Amino acid sequence: MGRPCSSSRFVSSSLNLRRFALAALVWWCVLAASLQAATAQRNAPPGQVKVRVGVILNLTSSIGQRRKVGIEMAVEDYYAAHPGSRTRVALRFRDSGGQVVGAASAAVDLIKNEQVQAIIGPATSAEAGFVAYLANSTHVPVLSSSATSPELSSAQTLFFVRTAANDSFQVAPVAAVLATFRWHAAVIVYEDSPYGSGILPALADALQGVGARIMERTAVPADADDDRIDAVLNRFMAMPTRVFIVHMNRFVAPRFFRRARNAGMMSEDYAWIVTDGVGSVVDALSPDEINAMEGVISLRPYVQMTDEVRNFSARFRARLRRVSPSADVYAHDSTVLMLWSYDTAWAIATAAEAADVSSPAFQTPQQSSALTDLGRLGVSATGAALLKAVHETTFHGLAGNFTLVDGQLQPPAYEVVNIIGKGARQVGFWTPEAGISQALDANAAKGLKPSIIWPGDVTSPPKGWVVSANGQKLRVAVPVKGGFKQFVNVAKDATTGVHNITGYCIEVFDAVMRKMPYPVSYEYVPIPNSSVSYDKFVSLLPEQKADIIVGDVTITASRMANVDFSMPFTDSGWSMVVAVRTETSTSMWIFLQPLTTSLWLASLAFFCFTGFVVWAIEHRINPEFRGTPWQQFGLIFYFAFSTLVFSHKEKLESNLSRFVVIIWVFVVLILTSSYTASLTSMLTVQKLQPTVTDVRELQRSGAYIGYQDGSFIKDSLRKIGFDEARMKNFSTAEGYAEALSKGPANGGVAAVFDEIPYLKLFLSQYCDGYAMVGPVYKTDGFGFVFPLGSPLTPDVSRAVLTLAEGEEMAQIEKKWFGEPGACPSQGGSAAVGSSNLSFRSFGGLFLITGVVSGLMLLIYLATFVYRERGEVRTVEEGGSGSSSVRRLRAWLRHFDQKDLKCPTFKTWNEESVREGSQTRRWVDDTVRNGRGGANSAVPATSDEEAIGMSPFSISAGSEMINAGSSPASEIGTSFEQRMQDAPHSAEMTLSGDA
């Protein structure tokens, strides 16, 4: 029995010994720090200037006591590190009691009685607001490390400095968290105080930037009882949204989450995001408070846990035990707020040294008539210099780099934590450069870590909303229509009284719901008389009389102000349908209509060009292309146009001209065939001409027009200038047909305006006698209607696009509207359009023939110049004009002569010789020698000039072969006549010689 007792005593003694050693170590650290501070104070220069700094804290709270200790340690540590400082900060503490009036009273006391040169605090934004304006009038800088409301800014209060992160900085990471999980709607719950409401404008802008909608904003008073909080939570439970953003301080938030846990809202499907008002002090929360917030995502400014921070934390806990033995000491007591308070005191000491401020001095107003102490406080003489030094102060503090921009601290990053277990677990970071990432590394994975534990102890992220908050089926309202029941048809069974709801819109919605990534339970609810006004029908959603509207509801801007629409599932736009009349053309000039003017002119030009090319190639070698100038001009046109009916009889001698004609005949074949087909169509096919083609024509004539009952078309027609008194409403396709067939003269209408889907359905039923004409006015088509901010909207829109990309949508349209293009009258625009053939249709053919003809002509001219270059003799003497002109005339005269070396003319000459024609030999000799004998009585005009004058012949006497040219009357003599007269002329010449 003795051994166990002795063993027990031994264990107890060991534990006591360890505790004693640990306590001794802590007391030694505290004693060393105190001795170091005392030594620094003893070694201080004798002429050191005291800088009085007031500190306003809520000393009745544990946080206020901790901040007091941290500020004192910061001043002691600064002068221990800078023993030779010329100035020394003397702290003056005042208790605000956590009240605005208390903070204001403390500030007045510090400025009036203590004549402080700077103030640290107060703790809350409400307290700091009044003190900041007071400092603005007294020029006493106020540095607060906990007043984070964006409503306080240095732009309005120049002497207010925020040595903490502005709350508006954290709205970007909050929005980034929502974007990470694709949450498109959220409810904001905030504390009803300047701290809570100050973040709302920036938060709204940030959420809008990521496509998230704020469904509701609810303020919770700081002193709200449980019943008030329960009422707020019950209203949230009735909403489909399950994402909540909470912005409260550490005193209000735990009570709110306790009530949320009791209401069952800390369970599956719920997502809670809390700002740094909780995340920055989560290590100081009690286990019960942490348990109430289990699964919450929170933010806090990131602070790197360096050796300096760990050393400060250990010294802080030791000193707190010594100063306040009853205070709670936490394992991680160096929260970011505590570190900011420490850096604030350090910054004041640094700025006071840099500014080299003098002793306190206030310029008290003389003979002031102020009734209170506020008007007699005066103005600090050192405030401006000290404020400037604070703004320029930079150092590496415990919380990171201390740098002020626009009078406030800039945090480098935010840490995303998951409140779970006994505290907070890091799940990611946010930086302005990289956004949300799993680590502070350039190569870190995007998004948050997958190890997040959500409310209800689930690991999969909530989708952020529920289909039905109360678990009931969604009420899908459908219109009861009198016409166009192919879209929505509500038929009631007379026996059972059950509604049978069918139609194109219904079938599309059912198909979309089958493609949703989660099941959606719904039931159709017919709405009588809904087709009278679709605007009133859509208002059922804002009035919460329905959850969804399905039907032929058009997406318009006015309706989108109150509801949300899915992506359209039909064609967009609206136009008009009119009656058509059968018409055949009887114009005497109808033969000109098959070709456009441009094609007629192009054809004429190419006819002339082709004839000229063939003449130029055949002129020197083919007798059929020679003759008088008028004969040759006529031949050019005659030959080209005779190819139009393939009646040309001229024999071609050159392969170049034959190739040109081959290509040209091919072009003519296609051109004539097309012309014949088009003219035949115009003469035999009846055309359907619309009775009205222009909207402005309807407005000028004042004819009656129609529209569908209950549609937005009526307002649109009135906006574009139609008189409402000239409008008639219809509800069925039969009514459209009857009114259009009667016409405005017989009590009908000239046109019916409606949306494209209705007009297509009408024309599919009434194939003959009607056509859709005129401009198409743009709308967004039919869409499914949801309440504003409904989380169903984006998922339904994606399902609509998925359905439209497949074959199922086409099958549904075919089922309800028939085969596309089945109506003969809708076969195309040829029934009412022009059938003229344009130049563009034959541009390729004309290009081919033009290139071929031009190329053959160039080849011939190049060959002619090369072969005949030695035969041309330029006549210089006796001529007029320049040498270039004379040379050109010589080439033209040579081109106009027959090419006697060609096979055609050689064969003809040989036949003449065999017949014994002495006269022909004489003519050939004359042509070959170019002139007659010296004593010849026969005119020396060449036979070529007399026989084959071309358009290029020169009639001037100086340019003839000799001075004795033939008379002008002889120029027009044909080749046959010259040959008949040749023997007679020869005989006369011989007899004369004899």
| Whether the Cβ atoms of residue 742 and residue 519 lie closer than 8 Å to each other | no
Phi, psi (rounded to 5 degrees) for 860: -65, -45
| CA geometry: angle 507, 509, 512, nearest 5 deg | 110
Average pLDDT of span 865-885? 62
d(CA 246, CA 263) in angstroms, rounded, equals 17
Q: Which CATH superfamily is domain 474-572+783-817 in?
A: Periplasmic binding protein-like II (3.40.190.10)
Residue 742, pLDDT > 70, answer yes
For 725, which DSSP code? G
| CA geometry: angle 537, 541, 545, nearest 5 deg | 90
Say which CATH class 49-163+335-364+375-403 falls into: alpha beta
Tell me which amino acid residue 714 is. K
Q: Taking the domains of the chain in order of start, what are their residue ranges?
A: 49-163+335-364+375-403, 474-572+783-817, 576-583+688-779, 590-684
Residue 871, pLDDT > 80, answer no
pLDDT in tens, 697-724: 888 888 888 988 878 888 888 888 888 8
The two three-digit tokens of residue 522, written as one number: 């719904």
Which of these, 132, 135, 120, 150, lies nearest to 56 by C-alpha position? 120
Residue 81, pLDDT > 90, answer yes
Q: In whole angstroms, how large is the CA radius of gyration of the chain?
A: 52
Could you check whether 474-572+783-817 and 576-583+688-779 share the same CATH topology? Answer: yes
Exposed, middle or buried by CB within 10 Å (0-12, 13-18, 19+), for 750?
buried
Dihedral angle at the C-alpha atoms of 591, 593, 597, 599, nearest 10 degrees? -80
User: Looking at residue 853, what is its pLDDT?
Assistant: 87
Average pLDDT of span 239-261? 93
d(CA 756, CA 750) in angstroms, rounded, equals 18
Least confident of 36-50, 284-298, 363-377: 36-50
| Whether the Cβ atoms of residue 403 and residue 373 lie closer than 8 Å to each other | no
Average pLDDT of span 810-836? 62
Q: To which residue do tokens 């010849």 refer?
A: 936
DSSP 909-934: HHHHHHTT-HHHHHHHHHHHHSS--T
User: Looking at residue 430, what is its pLDDT?
Assistant: 95
User: Looking at residue 372, what is its pLDDT?
Assistant: 64
pLDDT in tens, 122-172: 988 989 988 999 998 899 999 999 899 998 888 888 999 999 999 999 999
Highest mean pLDDT, choosing among 86-95, 706-715, 746-755? 86-95
Tell me if residue 946 falls in helix, strand or coil: helix
Which of these, 90, 489, 461, lies nearest to 273 by C-alpha position? 461
Q: How many CB atoms lie within 10 A of CB 390?
A: 24
Tell me which amino acid residue 762 is. F
Alpha helices (H) in 643-712, listed in sequence order: 655-684, 695-701
What's the farthest any 2 CA atoms get from each other in the chain?
187
280-319 as b/e: b if 16+ CB within 10 A: bbbbbbeeebbbbbbbbbbbbbbbeeeeebeebbebbbbb
> Would you report the helix, strand and coil content of the chain in percent, each value rounded to 5?
45, 15, 35
Least confident of 583-597, 646-660, 687-701, 921-935: 921-935
Q: To which residue do tokens 């009133």 refer?
A: 536
Under the banding of pLDDT at 50, 70 and 90, the label for residue 368 is low
| Whether the Cβ atoms of residue 716 and residue 574 lie closer than 8 Å to each other | yes
Fold of 576-583+688-779: D-Maltodextrin-Binding Protein; domain 2 (3.40.190)
Give the residue with greater pLDDT, 520 vs 952: 520
Residue 53, pLDDT > 90, answer yes
Alpha helices (H) in 436-584, listed in sequence order: 504-514, 534-538, 557-560
Residue 796, pLDDT > 90, answer yes
The two three-digit tokens of residue 536, written as one number: 């009133």
d(CA 455, CA 270) in angstroms, rounded, equals 7
Least confident of 93-107, 750-764, 861-875: 861-875
Which residues, in sequence order, are CB contacts of 217 under 8 Å at separation 6+? 187, 188, 190, 200
User: Looking at residue 791, what is its pLDDT?
Assistant: 81
Residue 649, pLDDT > 70, answer no
Tell me if residue 61 falls in helix, strand or coil: coil
Which of these, 211, 251, 236, lies nearest to 793 by C-alpha position? 211
Phi, psi (rounded to 5 degrees) for 867: -75, -35
| Whether the Cβ atoms of residue 271 and residue 247 lie closer than 8 Å to each other | no
Tell me if residue 336 falls in helix, strand or coil: helix
CA distances to 242, 258, 673 from 293, rounded to whole Å, are 16, 8, 87
Average pLDDT of span 492-497? 78
DSSP 263-283: TT-SSTT-EEEE-HHHHTTGG
Q: To which residue do tokens 């020029």 refer?
A: 139
Average pLDDT of span 751-779? 83
d(CA 370, CA 351) in angstroms, rounded, equals 33
d(CA 118, CA 107) in angstroms, rounded, equals 10
Residue 917, pLDDT > 50, answer no
Residue 763, pLDDT > 70, answer yes
pLDDT in tens, 896-909: 777 767 776 665 55
**Roughly what angle, to the nearest 10 degrees, separates helices 655-684 and 843-867?**
160
d(CA 475, CA 472) in angstroms, rounded, equals 9
User: How many CA atoms lie within 13 Å of 860's alpha carbon, on the beta-carbon side?
Assistant: 24
Q: To which residue do tokens 């929502």 refer?
A: 178
DSSP 392-442: H--EEETTEEE-EETTEE--S-EEEEEEETTEEEEEEEEETTTEEESSSST
